[in-house]
Structure 1
């Protein structure tokens, strides 16, 4: 089972993501609420996939991504944001994110679930 770390400053969104991921067959091994906690949890848990919100307190998602990739250059990271900003997308992909998804990811929306699965498959290189 693929292990996933979710890092989002919205506890509600983190729980929604956990539910969606669990329902489609992933194992959510941790939930973080800011970039600093995300880096710490990544180092402790070594997940197969990390989902990072872009906008977070203490350390934003882009900085968290950079620290994770410095620790583990092969880390599989999907960035998430409600912001529709092509510059942010570009910076995240250049920093090593394997995919970028627009939020929200809704629990009851098959299309959102499929977008998430497609992003994970793209990063891993195989169907899940």
Structure 2
């Protein structure tokens, strides 16, 4: 069973994303900020973390750094409305496997065109090929 941790300060976005990726064999956990995400990561290491960049208490970059210290092979995909190339490049340097702008994340399209597994495989496969 695949475990996914969704980290975003917007409860609505967390719920919508969880609904979009809901499928057999996927267990979803959620966190509202980086501190909560780090604790959840320590308690039950997920196969994938979908991580917002801009959050209170502990932002996505700091959370990503902590997760990568815990597990350098962690699969983390950043999801954010921030589209600064510098921010994205920094997250990729820290260890994120990919980045999806929230504006491009058409949740209903994701639901109707591909399974969550296919989307993750595409992102992680593209990173491994690079």
TM-score range, shorter chain: 0.7 to 0.9
Q: Where in structure 2 are there 5+ consecutive unaligned residues?
A: none
Q: More helix by proportion, 1 or 2?
A: 2
Say if 2:17 is the partner of 1:17.
Answer: yes
Contact 2:18 2:28 in 1 (8 A): no
Distance in structure 2 (CA, Å) of the matches to 1:102 and 1:30: 21
Query: CA, structure 1 residues 77+111, in 2 after alignment: closer, same or farther (shift >3 Å)?
Result: same
Distance in structure 2 (CA, Å) of the matches to 1:76 and 1:96: 8
Q: Where in structure 1 are there 5+ consecutive unaligned residues?
A: none
SS at match of 1:108: helix
After superposition, give the CA deviation of every residue in 1:15-74 in whole Å (9 maximum; x if it has no partner).
011101104x56233100000001001111101000100000000000000000001111
Q: How many matched pairs?
A: 125
TM-score by length of 1: 0.85
Distance in structure 2 (CA, Å) of the matches to 1:33 and 1:113: 28
Distance in structure 2 (CA, Å) of the matches to 1:22 and 1:111: 9
Report the CA distance between 1:107 and its aligned residue.
Answer: 3.0
Say if 2:6 is the partner of 1:6.
Answer: yes
For 1:120, the equivalent position in structure 2 comes to 120
Query: CA, structure 1 residues 110+30, in 2 after alignment: closer, same or farther (shift >3 Å)?
Result: closer
Which ranges of 4 or more aligned residues in structure 1 deviate by more than 4 Å?
111-114, 116-119
For 1:38, the equivalent position in structure 2 comes to 37
Query: CA, structure 1 residues 113+80, in 2 after alignment: closer, same or farther (shift >3 Å)?
Result: farther
For 1:56, the equivalent position in structure 2 comes to 55
Contact 1:35 1:63 in 2 (8 A): yes
Cα RMSD (Å) of the superposition? Answer: 2.6
